[in-house]
Amino acid sequence: MPKKTIQVPTELLNALADAQHVVVFTGAGVSAESGVSTFRDALTGLWARFDPMQLATPEAFLADPDLVWGWYEWRRQLLLKAHPNPAHQAIVKLAQQVPKLTVITQNVDDLHERAGSRDVLHLHGSIFNPRCFSCAQPYPLKQAPAMRHEQALPPPTCSYCQGMIRPGVVWFGEALPQAEMEAAFAAAENCDVLLSIGTSGVVQPAAQIPQLALRSGALVAHINLEPVSCQHARELSLVGVAGQILPLLVQD
């Protein structure tokens, strides 16, 4: 993508320089430059090509476990080949330049951790932590047959209860992990600046996080390919790719 000149508002740079606690809230767009598909892009988004109700609900898993397990296994294998991009790396650098930084992500990949971020709050779980559908026992993933495209694959069996192993992600209709959600909401309520990066902000309850920060007096900057409509005086929209904008927010 050709580089665009992006002007970062001084208000944001000053707020970051003064901040005691910065929250970075990410969605699929932060991993897009690593070659990972987002969900809602009209052409390349996963939900443009696949039906979430057939792949991302407990009912779908029970109806066709091989279809669902195979789809997640295909995505897991793609993620293993992906690498953190300059946006993930800039977040790590920013954490070294402010007193406290909390990363909250809706992503099920581990690209923040592989870039070097610590204690990432994964609101939608992790594709790398499967567990038993029946007894919730974690399942150590073994090498799976290489997949070139999505294909049906039977899920492994739990060695404790013989139940089916499911992906460790949060599906539509399921509750978010309690501890992560409480920690994320508390961070949003107690930060000075929140950067909302690469998310369409439509999936609840995660989508409340920028609003919580605004209500608590923080400055909220949306970093997105698309302009984000700002209703609040302390809300900014920076339009462009995360991997170009985020490095402009950190000192060399």
Applying CB under 6 A, the residues found at the interface with ligand OAD are: 27-29, 32-33, 38-40, 45, 56, 106, 124, 169-170, 198-200, 203, 223-226, 241-242
For 157, phi and psi rounded to 5 degrees? Answer: -110, 140
Are the C-beta atoms of 66 and 155 separated by less than 8 Å?
yes
User: Closest Cα partner for 60 from 177, 201, 174, 159?
Assistant: 174
CB count within 10 Å of CB 127 equals 22
What is the nearest approach in angstroms of ligand OAD to the Cβ of residue 18?
25
**Identity of the residue, 100 or 240, whose beta carbon is nearer to ligand OAD in the bound complex:** 240
Measured from the CB atom, the residue of 197 and 214 that comes closer to ligand OAD is 197
Q: Least distance (Å) from ligand OAD to the CB of residue 131?
A: 16
| Residue 201, both tokens | 């902000």
Cα separation of 248 and 183, whole Å?
28
Give, as one character, the DSSP assignment of residue 154.
Answer: P
Residues near 177 by beta carbon (within 8 Å), at least 6 away in sequence: 122, 123, 125, 170
Our CB check for ligand OAD shows the closer of 144 and 239 to be 239
Choice among 112, 124, 222, 232 that is catalytic = 124
Buried b (16+ CB within 10 A) or exposed e, 51-89: eeeebbbeebbeeebebbbbbbbbbbebbeebebbbbbb
**Min. distance of Cβ 119 from ligand OAD in angstroms?**
19
Taking the least distance from each CB to ligand OAD, the nearer of 65 and 86 is 86
**Is 122 an active-site residue?**
no
**Considering the complex, what minimum distance in angstroms separates the CB of residue 244 from ligand OAD?**
8
Q: Taking CB positions, which residue lies at the least distance from ligand OAD?
A: 29
Give catalytic residues, as residue numbers. Answer: 124
